[in-house]
Amino acid sequence: MKFFIDTANLEQIREAQDLGILDGVTTNPSLMAKEGIKGDENIINHYKTICEIVDGDVSAEVISTDFEGMIKEGEALAALHPQITIKVPVIKEGIKAIKYFSDKGLKTNCTLVFSAGQALLAAKAGATYVSPFIGRLDDISTDGVALIKQIVDMYNYYGYDTQVLAASIRHTLHIIQCAEAGADVVTAPLSAILGLLKHPLTDIGLEKFLADYNKLNG
Ligand code: E4P
């Protein structure tokens, strides 16, 4: 399973990259706004900086909701760096745009996916990634992880190449559950990724090893 970090915060992206386990980055307009990145030039420079920090795919989202606008924006984003993946919402114009980008060999991430039907259309259009938002489904008492499993099974059955990118991860357990469900990628906040390391027995064990060492050598 690939690990992406879901943020536009450069410090956190660098920390995850330094860990040596990072496969890519996802951003969205809300995450960019959270970091105070505004204005086309600053946004473009921010994407370029992220691409210089990490080795893998970096999702950059289009703002347009019409086909022509998405194509213009998406092509400009893709031209910024070979690691850029054009992030497109799963609306009618978005599916058309994903098909267009896919025919041109450009990478896409179909976002705001909340149902198996949306995921099916994204795969038919040739999306590189499909992003089901599991946390937002959990928020409305719907099982987000179950959707991941459903999409993984459906894609496997038909042999679609589209990778299931579990998004809207809220906590560490979500990462484990997505791994169990067969997600190809999870995109998570740094805190949820680092949470995977936490275990009290590790802390107790390490403390004891160091204490025993220091008894004789300290
Ligand atoms: C996915 O690519 C999105 O950026 C993200 O996972 C949305 O998560 P949220 O529901 O925490 O905003």
Report which protein residue has its CA nearest ligand 1's atom 1: 167
As a whole number, mean pLDDT of residues 114-128 equals 98
The span from the CA of 115 to the CA of 16, in Å, is 30
Catalytic annotation, residues: 87
Write the pLDDT tens digit of every residue in 190-213.
Answer: 999 999 999 999 999 999 999 999
Distance (Å) from CA 133 to ligand 1 centroid: 7
DSSP letter for each residue of 12-60: HHHHHHHHT---EEE--HHHHHHTT--SHHHHHHHHHHHHHH-SSEEEE
- Taking a C-beta distance cutoff of 8 angstroms, is the pair 166, 187 a contact? yes
Distance (Å) from CA 100 to ligand 1 centroid: 25
DSSP letter for each residue of 72-94: HHHHHHHHH-TTEEEEEESSHHH
Indicate which atom in ligand 1 lies nearest the CA of residue 167.
Answer: 6
Rounded to two decimals, the pTM is: 0.96
Distance (Å) from CA 206 to ligand 1 centroid: 35
Q: Is the pLDDT assigned to residue 126 strictly greater than 90?
A: yes
The span from the CA of 87 to the CA of 73, in Å, is 10
Q: Is the pLDDT assigned to residue 75 strictly greater than 90?
A: yes
The span from the CA of 55 to the CA of 178, in Å, is 23
The span from the CA of 148 to the CA of 156, in Å, is 12
Write the pLDDT tens digit of every residue in 135-170.
Answer: 999 999 999 999 999 999 999 999 999 999 999 999
3-state secondary structure of 1: coil
Q: Please state, in angstroms and as integers, the Cα–Cα distance from residue 39 to each residue in 32, 34, 42, 99, following that order.
A: 11, 14, 5, 28
Indicate which atom in ligand 1 lies nearest the CA of residue 59.
Answer: 2
Ligand 1 proximal residues by C-beta, below 6 Å: 6, 26, 28, 31, 111, 131, 133, 135-136, 167-168, 187
Choosing from 168, 170, 187 the residue with most ligand 1 atoms within 8 A of its CB, the one to mutate for a pocket test is 168
CA 83, 159, 94 angle in degrees (round to 5)?
A: 50
